[in-house]
Structures are given as structure tokens and as C-alpha cells.
């Protein structure tokens, strides 16, 4: 601990011990505790206590309950635990019976403050920190703390209850720590007393008829198997699994969710990867007994396991598919694709769940669709994957949701009524449908998919979020649709679909709802990016009004839409898809677009469109867009001039990115990647004077220098990196034309100093490139980079500052108190 902190500590401890001086802020105590933890990790706790007796005094002081506020008591309990984590310090504190006073039955437990959840939480956390060594284990056993922890599992405060369960697991693991190494997985009866006590308690809870107790026991076990992967856990499971299995006999099954968590935790434990130990039977039994909603997560978890019997995987997959199978069964007379309807035994429970209420039905379907979506991209997903049936099912669900399905049974009719207009299910189904595009689907089903997607894109009832998902799914399907072999263009479905899609897209671009216009633009941009070169697409696009409408949206009242329109127009322009631009007789169209973008950049009142414009310009510069290539310097100069006036720091950062691209194009890539083997340095070609002059143009350097002193740190950082790059690239030419003490240099340095001081008014003038470079070299850019890299609160985060702040707060509180009287 540094001496300054040591000096401040007694005063602080005195403040903490004084009940008349309340600590204003809980977070201070948290920070203090974090600091102590850091200190004790680096130094001996014992030494710390001996050098700072005020700390022990503070701990002793809190033993007088009437004098301490609950938050200081909680803090002290946790502090004591932190110190006692080291065995020698533990012994030291034990000598004065301090620990027993704090954690024993005669201590905190009996005080009125025990009713405050913070104190109970502090007690548990203190013990958790303390329980690190055998002495602590004895202490826990002797002090009766374990029994208290048992009772705290049912604490009304969820934080306390959860921490109590965690502590039990921690104690169990600690007490078993040495055992497993010495004896190879001893039987339960030979376990240490403390472990036996905890296991006994868990067993008792599992036998209990009260669901909360069963849940507590299952949670303890879940954490145990999740954290401890020693051989003794196998013995523990052998001992407890019959009790767990007994839970399945009860009706209803208590704590279904916790049971699922436990089984998955056990199954994921590496200890059980090879051994059988009846786990899979229990999982299979649980799958068949739980309700479809509860069984879903277990089925998904099971399928995600690497080592799991095939029969169980089949059963689990069957459970996941059941709701979809029910939907198909209820709506189709004769299923067209086999696979989904085969294993639908026990489907009545699923049907009941689907029909019981609207929320249950939507909940089960959403869960199932999300689970299958999660499973879809996994390499070890069930095989064969019933792509066709899943497609059929999801298309049917979407049809049920928009009322276009014609169900063939009464169950189907009721499903139709339940799901009609259900946005939640629509969203989930469209998400899954989008995911299914990443697979090989039977060609005969693709038109159905496009038809239902078009229905959703067209429907006036599709909510903006549903539409967004429909656009995303459509994009997925369009991009994944196979091309006709031997032909550069699309298969038969796509041109037809595009013919219907563009009128819908046009309508959506005119929607009164800005979210819809935005999603439509995003979709249009993505589609153009991928398909801009395809003749079919170009044809459909040119025969539509979409490009004109997009251009009109550059003046949309909603800033997000304007930003999306900028991106979309840029995309069209890059690919020669801008309607008027495409015709060679209108060369002014592109200039018009550039002018329009520049106008947005300089005049738009919102940041998003301006950011979008700079991003587009940067991309155009990278790609050598025709308009930019005509006069790159002029282009960059104009843009940077506008950007430098922008109030939005993100726009300025983007402007620096543009400058970086420009410099890179002029000077070559920045330095070697640190991880690649450096090639022998080729002798650098000499920079031609005109290049040097370009690089040192005032518009470029003035922009960078101003940004260096920007009040927004990301801008300054970016500018610093840019100037470093420029300095490094021009370094070899330094000295050859040293300008010495030219008047230019003096005035520039003076200007920079004023900028640094916050006076940004004065321009840099028109100095010589050499003077620019000299200034560049004279700046301590590395130092500045280091300072900028530190977070803005690095000064305030120091422990001295914390201690001083806490003391200062007390002073202020005292002053306020004095004022009152």
C-alpha cells in the first residue's frame, strides 16, 4: 500500500466507525473493497493489518452493534472475509475472537441489523471470501455457520438466497478439495463431515414436498456440477440421482426448470463424458414427463451435447419438432414431406398446450422456433435434418398468423383463430424462415416460401418489426437461391418474384411509418450490393420507380431514413444503378448526387445522415469512384473543410478516416503488422516535391492538427494516429531540408499552442510543407497518444483519490449540518 493511502486510512476508519458520520455513497464502499482486494492479492494481509492497526480497530468496533450502520457492518464483514482469506491472517484475527464475533452465532446473527438484507449478504460474501483454507473449514463447522447458510437459502431477498446457495457449493468444493486427490472418489459415507452435512441437507430438501426447497436443492446441485469437475461429483450424482428420479414420479413435477438446468449441468460436466451412471435414462424419462414448454430447453441442451446416445438425441429432436408437427397435422390433410410427423407420439400434451390459451400457444411456438433456429447452424445438428418439413411447418405457421391458411381440422381452425395477427409468432417464424434459407431446400417449396414472404411484405397488417424481419428473410432467400447451371443469371423463380417485389418495395418506400421506409431502404441497399451486376435484377430495377423514390427519401423528415437513403443512393451510384445516372446522356446526374451529398453533409441538422455521407465518401475514395477519381484532392479538400466544422464527433472521426485513406493512397500502407515477419526494408523511394506539397496542404494538416486538440477523445486519438502515420512516412526526408527557425514555424507553433488552449479561431496560414513537417516532428505525439489512451477518469480512479473523496464528502456533510443550525 502506498504511504499516502496509509496516511489517510486511520481518518477514514474513524469516519466509518463513527455512526454520526454516515457514508453518503454505497459505491464508495464497493470501490474501497475492490481496492483492498487488489492490495491483499499483492501483499500479505497480515502485514497490512499489522502496519495499519486502524483496520483491526474498525473490525472490532463493528462488534458493538448499536454503533454501526448496516452498510458499514456489511462492508466490515466482507472486509474481514477478504483479510481472512489468507490463513496466517485468519489465525491472527481468530486470536482476538474477532471472526467468531463477526460470523459466529453470538455475533451479527443476533443483532437487529441482521434483518437488513445488505448485512446478511455481507455475511455470506465475507464467509465466501474467507473459505479458502482448511482452518476456515473448521471454523465454519464449529461456528454453526453452515446451518445458518441452509436457512438463508430460503431468504426473502433473492440476492441473499442465491449467494447462500453459491456459498454452500463453495464450502462443499472446499471440503472435498483434498479428498479426491488422496483417495480415489471415496464413497459418500467416507466424506468429510462438512460435506456430508451439506449433502444430507440437499437430500432432505429433495425429499421435501415443498417445491421451493426442491428448487433450492436442485440449484445447489446445478452449480456444483457446473463448477466442480472432480471425480467426487460422480459419486455425488450416483448418490443423489435416485432422489432426482423420484421427482419425476410426482405430479406435477416440482421445479421443472431447475430440474432441466441440473440435468444439463450434469450432462455437460466432463466427469460424465464417458461414464453412463444412469444420466441418460433420467434425461429420457424427464423429456417424456415434462410439459412441452419445459421439455424444450432440455431437448435443445441435449442436442447440443457432443456425446449423447443417438436414441436420446432422436427423442429430444422429436420433442423439439412436436409443436411444428402438430401444426402441420392440424392444417394439412396429407403431409407432403415425411420426417416431421413420424415421431409424434405423446403429441396430445403438445396439442393441449397449443390450444390452452393464446399466450401459451404463442409462447410454445416462439420457443420452438427459436430453439430450432439455434440448432440449425450447429455442425452436429440432428441428421437427417428435416429441412422440407420444417419449411412447410414454418410457412404454415406464417399463413395461420395472417389468416391465409385453410386448416383441414377443428384443431387447425382453433389454431388459426389463436394465431391470427400474433406478431410475436410472426417475428419468430420469419426469423427461422430466414435461417432456413441457409440450407438445401427442395425446389418445389421455394415458390411457396417466396409467396408467403410476398404476402407479408404486401400485407397492410404487417407491423414494422414484422416487415423488417420479412425483408431480412426475403434477402436471405434471394441471396441463397441457386443460380441456373451454366447461366450467369437466376433460376426461373427469381425474375417472377422480382417483378412482384419491386411494386411492394415502392409502396413500402412511401410508407407513412418511418421504420418501414428505413427497413425497405436497408433491404434495397443490401439487394443492390449483392445483385447489382445481375441482368434480371437490373431490368426489374430500371422498370421500377425505386431509385427515384430512394432519391426523394434523401429529403425525408426522419434522419434515420435520410441516412439509409444516403447509403442506398451511394450503393446504386457505385453500381451504375442510379436511374438517370445510368444513361450516358445525363452525366450531370452523378455530379448532382455528389452535390446533394455535400449539401446533406453541410446542412443536415441531424448527425446520422452526415455520418452516412462521410462513410460513403470514404468508401468512394477507397473504391476509386468515378466522381472522386476525377479530382481526388479537390474532393478530399472540400469534404474535410465541411467536416472540420461539424459538431458531431463521429462525423469528425469519419473525416479523419477519409484523410487516412487519402494519405494511405498517397504514401502506401501504414507500418508492418507486428505479427508478420518483417521483409527486408526496401530503400524508400524519394517523395516527389508535389506529393509532399499535397500531403502538407493546409486543409489536410490544419484539419488534423485541429482534431488533435479536439475536446472529444476519440477524435484526438484518431488525429494523433493519423499524424504519427504521416510523420513516420515522411521521417526519412527530415533533415534534408531543415527549415530551422523560420517565421512560418514560429507562427504555426503559436497557433497550435492557442488551439491547445481552446482558442480555435486563428487559422494556420499557408506555411511551407517543410515547416509543417518540422512542426509535426516537434510535437510529442507518442506522449499524447499515451495520455489519450488512458481513460478520462484515470486520475479519479486512484485509491488516494477515492479515500480523499470519501473524507471530503464527510466534511461537506458536516458543513451542511452546521449550516442547518
Please report, as ranges, the residues that interact with other proteins according to CB under 8 A. Answer: 403, 405-407, 412-414, 416-418, 420-421, 459-462, 506-508, 510-514, 516, 545, 548-549, 552, 555-558
Which residue in the block uniquely carries the three cell numbers 416431421? 340
For other proteins, which is the closer residue by CB, 188 or 403? Answer: 403
Residue closer to other proteins by CB (options 510, 795) is 510
What is the distance between the alpha carbons of residues 71 and 58, in angstroms, rounded to a whole number?
14
The answer to whether 373 touches 432, Cβ cutoff 8 Å, is yes
How far apart are CB 506 and other proteins at their closest, in Å? 6
DSSP 131-185: -SSHHHHHHHHHHTHHHHHHHHTT-SSHHHHHHHHHHHHHHHHHHTHHHHHHSSS
Distances (CA, A) of 763 to 131, 746, 747, 780: 66, 14, 10, 21
Nearest to 375 by CA among 310, 284, 304: 304
Nearer to other proteins, 562 or 718 (CB): 562
Residue 210 or 510 with smaller CB distance to other proteins: 510
The residue (of 420 and 598) whose beta carbon lies closer to other proteins is: 420
Provide CB contacts within 8 A for 491, sequence distance 6+: 481, 482, 483, 484
Distance between CA 49 and CA 94 in Å, rounded? Answer: 13
Q: Which three cell numbers stand for residue 42?
A: 499483492
Give burial (CB, 10 Å; 0-12/13-18/19+) of 815: exposed
DSSP assignment of 383-405, as one string? SS--HHHHHHHHHHHHHHHTT--
* Secondary structure of residue 490 in the 3-state scheme: strand
Instruction: Supply the DSSP string of 462-495, one letter for each residue.
Output: --HHHHHHHHHHHHHHHHHSPBPTT-SSB-SHHH
185 touches 234 (CB < 8 A): yes
Q: How far apart are the first and last CA of the chain?
A: 40
Residue closer to other proteins by CB (options 107, 412) is 412
- If the CB atoms of residues 18 and 545 are measured against other proteins, the closer one turns out to be 545
Residue linked to cell 504519427: 724
Beta bridge partners of 490: 483
DSSP structure class, residue 679? P
CB 417, min distance to other proteins, A: 3
User: How near is the Cβ of 461 to other proteins at its closest, in Å?
Assistant: 4
Closer CB to other proteins, 153 or 544, in the complex:
544
Considering beta carbons, is residue 106 or 406 the nearer one to other proteins?
406
Q: Is residue 251 classed exposed, middle or buried when 0-12, 13-18 and 19+ CB atoms within 10 A define those classes?
A: exposed
145 or 549: whose CB is closer to other proteins?
549
In angstroms, the CA 238 to CA 245 distance is 11
Closest by Cα among 667, 676, 784 to 731: 667
Taking the C-alpha atoms of residue 2 and residue 592, their distance in angstroms, rounded to an integer, is: 65
Q: For residue 714, is it left (φ>0), alpha (ψ between -120 and 50) or beta?
A: alpha
**Of residues 556 and 770, the one with the C-beta less far from other proteins:** 556
Nearest distance from residue 522's CB to other proteins, in Å? 17
CA distance 403 to 433: 18
d(CA 307, CA 316): 14
The backbone region for 278, taken as left when phi is positive above 0, alpha when psi lies in -120 to 50, beta otherwise, is: left
SS3 365: helix
- Compute the least distance from the CB of residue 545 to other proteins, in Å: 6
Burial pattern 191-215, b for ≥16 Cβ within 10 A else e, equals bbebbebbbebbeebbeeeeeebbb
State how far the Cα of 430 lies from the Cα of 425, in Å rounded to an integer. Answer: 8
Alpha-carbon distance of 540 to 546, in angstroms, equals: 10
559 or 697, CB closer to other proteins?
559
Give least dist CB 457 to other proteins, A: 12
Neighbours of 187 (CB within 10 A): 11
* Cα(325)–Cα(341) distance, integer angstroms: 5
Judged by CB, which is closer to other proteins: 288, or 506?
Answer: 506
Select 354 or 446, whichever has its Cβ closest to other proteins: 354
Q: How far apart are CA 24 and CA 13, in angstroms?
A: 15
For residue 483, the 8-state DSSP code is B
Residues in the chain: 821
CB of 396 to other proteins, least distance (A): 13
Nearer to other proteins, 194 or 405 (CB): 405
Helix-helix angle 559-574:607-623, to 10 degrees: 10
| Of 379 and 460, CB closest to other proteins | 460
Closest separation between CB of residue 426 and other proteins, Å? 13
C-alpha cell at 817: 449540518
Alpha-carbon Rg for the chain in angstroms: 35
| Residue placing its CB nearer to other proteins in the complex, 608 or 662 | 608
Residue 92 CA, distance from chain mean position = 44
Nearer to other proteins, 480 or 548 (CB): 548
Amino acid at each position: 500500500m502506498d504511504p499516502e493511502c496509509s496516511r489517510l486510512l486511520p481518518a477514514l476508519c474513524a469516519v466509518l466507525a463513527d455512526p454520526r458520520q454516515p457514508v453518503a455513497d454505497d459505491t464508495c464502499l464497493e470501490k474501497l473493497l475492490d481496492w483492498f482486494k487488489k492490495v491483499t492479492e499483492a501483499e500479505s494481509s497480515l502485514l497490512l493489518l499489522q502496519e495499519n492497526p486502524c483496520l483491526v480497530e474498525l473490525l472490532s468496533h463493528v462488534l458493538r452493534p448499536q454503533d454501526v450502520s448496516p452498510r458499514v457492518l456489511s462492508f466490515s464483514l466482507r472486509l474481514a472475509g477478504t483479510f481472512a482469506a489468507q490463513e496466517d491472517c485468519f489465525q491472527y484475527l481468530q486470536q482476538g475472537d474477532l471472526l467468531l464475533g463477526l460470523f459466529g452465532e453470538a455475533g451479527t446473527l443476533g443483532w437487529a441489523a441482521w434483518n437488513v438484507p445488505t448485512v446478511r449478504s455481507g455475511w455470506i460474501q465475507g464467509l465466501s471470501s474467507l473459505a479458502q483454507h482448511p482452518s476456515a473449514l473448521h471454523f465454519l463447522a464449529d461456528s454453526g455457520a453452515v446451518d445458518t447458510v441452509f436457512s438463508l437459502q430460503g431468504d426473502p431477498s433473492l440476492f441473499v438466497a442465491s449467494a447462500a446457495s453459491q456459498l454452500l457449493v463453495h464450502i462443499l468444493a472446499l471440503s472435498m478439495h483434498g479428498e479426491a486427490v488422496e483417495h480415489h472418489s471415496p464413497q459418500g459415507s467416507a466424506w468429510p463431515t462438512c460435506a456430508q452435512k451439506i449433502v444430507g441437507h440437499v437430500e432432505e430438501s429433495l425429499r421435501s414436498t415443498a417445491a421451493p426447497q426442491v428448487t433450492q436443492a436442485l440449484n445447489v446441485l446445478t452449480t456444483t456440477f457446473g463448477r466442480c469437475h472432480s471425480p467426487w461429483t460422480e459419486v455425488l450424482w450416483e448418490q443423489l440421482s435416485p432422489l432426482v428420479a423420484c421427482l419425476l414420479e410426482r405430479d406435477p413435477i416440482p421445479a421443472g426448470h431447475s430440474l432441466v438446468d441440473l440435468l444439463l449441468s450434469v450432462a455437460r460436466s466432463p466427469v460424465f463424458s464417458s461414464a453412463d451412471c444412469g444420466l441418460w435414462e433420467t434425461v429420457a424419462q424427464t423429456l417424456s414427463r415434462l410439459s412441452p414448454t419445459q421439455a424444450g430447453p432440455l431437448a435443445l441442451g441435449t442436442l447440443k451435447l457432443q456425446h449423447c446416445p443417438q436414441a436420446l438425441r432422436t427423442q429430444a429432436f422429436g420433442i423439439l419438432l412436436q409443436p411444428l408437427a402438430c401444426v402441420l397435422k392440424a392444417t394439412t390433410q396429407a403431409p407432403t414431406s415425411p420426417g416431421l410427423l413420424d415421431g409424434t407420439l405423446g403429441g396430445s400434451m403438445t396439442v393441449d398446450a397449443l390450444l390452452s390459451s393464446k399466450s401459451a400457444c404463442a409462447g410454445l411456438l416462439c420457443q420452438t422456433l427459436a430453439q430450432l433456429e439455434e440448432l440449425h447452424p450447429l455442425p452436429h445438428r440432428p441428421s437427417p435434418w428435416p429441412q422440407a418439413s420444417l419449411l412447410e411447418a414454418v410457412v404454415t405457421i406464417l399463413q395461420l398468423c395472417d389468416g391465409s391458411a385453410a386448416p383441414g381440422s377443428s384443431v387447425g381452425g382453433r389454431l388459426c383463430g389463436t394465431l391470427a395477427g400474433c406478431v410475436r409468432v410472426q417475428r419468430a417464424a420469419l426469423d427461422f424462415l430466414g435461417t432456413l434459407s441457409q440450407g438445401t431446400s427442395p425446389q418445389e417449396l421455394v415458390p411457396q416460401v417466396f409467396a408467403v414472404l410476398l404476402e407479408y411484405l404486401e400485407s397492410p397488417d404487417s407491423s414494422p418489426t414484422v416487415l423488417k424481419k420479412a425483408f431480412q428473410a426475403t434477402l436471405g432467400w434471394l441471396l441463397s437461391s441457386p443460380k441456373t447451371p451454366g447461366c450467369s443469371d437466376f433460376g426461373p423463380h427469381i425474375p417472377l418474384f422480382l417483378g412482384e417485389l419491386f411494386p411492394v418495395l415502392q409502396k413500402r418506400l412511401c410508407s407513412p411509418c418511418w421504420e418501414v421506409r428505413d427497413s425497405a431502404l436497408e433491404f434495397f441497399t443490401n439487394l443492390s450490393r449483392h445483385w447489382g451486376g445481375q441482368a434480371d435484377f437490373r431490368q426489374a430495377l430500371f422498370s421500377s420507380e425505386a431509385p427515384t423514390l430512394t432519391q426523394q427519401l434523401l429529403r425525408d423528415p426522419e434522419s434515420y431514413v435520410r441516412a439509409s437513403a444516403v447509403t442506398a443512393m451511394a450503393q446504386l451510384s457505385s453500381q451504375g444503378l442510379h436511374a438517370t445516372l445510368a444513361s450516358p446522356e445525363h452525366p450531370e446526374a452523378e455530379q448532382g448526387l455528389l452535390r446533394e451529398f455535400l449539401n446533406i453533409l453541410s446542412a443536415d441538422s441531424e448527425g446520422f445522415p452526415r455520418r452516412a455521407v462521410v462513410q460513403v465518401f470514404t468508401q468512394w475514395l477507397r473504391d476509386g469512384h468515378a466522381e472522386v477519381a476525377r479530382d481526388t484532392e479537390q474532393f478530399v479538400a472540400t469534404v474535410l473543410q465541411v467536416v472540420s466544422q461539424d459538431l458531431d464527433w463521429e462525423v469528425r472521426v469519419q473525416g479523419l478516416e477519409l484523410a487516412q485513406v487519402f494519405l494511405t493512397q498517397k504514401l502506401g500502407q501504414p507500418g508492418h503488422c507486428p505479427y508478420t515477419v518483417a521483409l527486408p526494408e526496401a530503400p524508400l523511394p524519394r517523395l516527389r516535391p508535389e506529393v509532399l506539397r499535397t500531403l502538407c496542404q493546409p486543409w489536410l494538416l490544419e484539419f488534423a492538427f485541429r482534431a488533435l486538440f479536439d475536446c472529444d477523445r476519440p477524435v484526438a486519438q484518431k488525429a494523433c494516429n493519423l499524424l504519427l502515420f504521416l510523420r513516420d512516412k515522411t521521417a526519412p526526408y527530415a533533415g534534408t531540408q531543415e527549415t530551422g527557425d523560420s517565421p512560418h514555424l514560429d507562427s504555426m507553433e503559436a497557433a497550435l499552442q492557442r488551439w491547445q488552449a481552446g482558442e480555435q479561431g486563428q487559422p494556420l496560414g499557408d506555411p511551407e510543407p517543410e515547416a509543417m513537417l518540422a512542426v509535426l516532428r516537434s510535437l510529442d505525439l507518442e506522449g499524447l497518444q499515451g495520455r489519450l489512451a488512458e481513460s478520462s477518469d484515470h486520475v479519479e480512479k486512484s485509491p488516494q483519490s477515492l479515500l480523499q473523496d470519501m473524507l471530503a464528502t464527510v466534511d461537506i456533510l458536516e458543513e451542511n449540518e452546521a449550516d442547518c443550525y
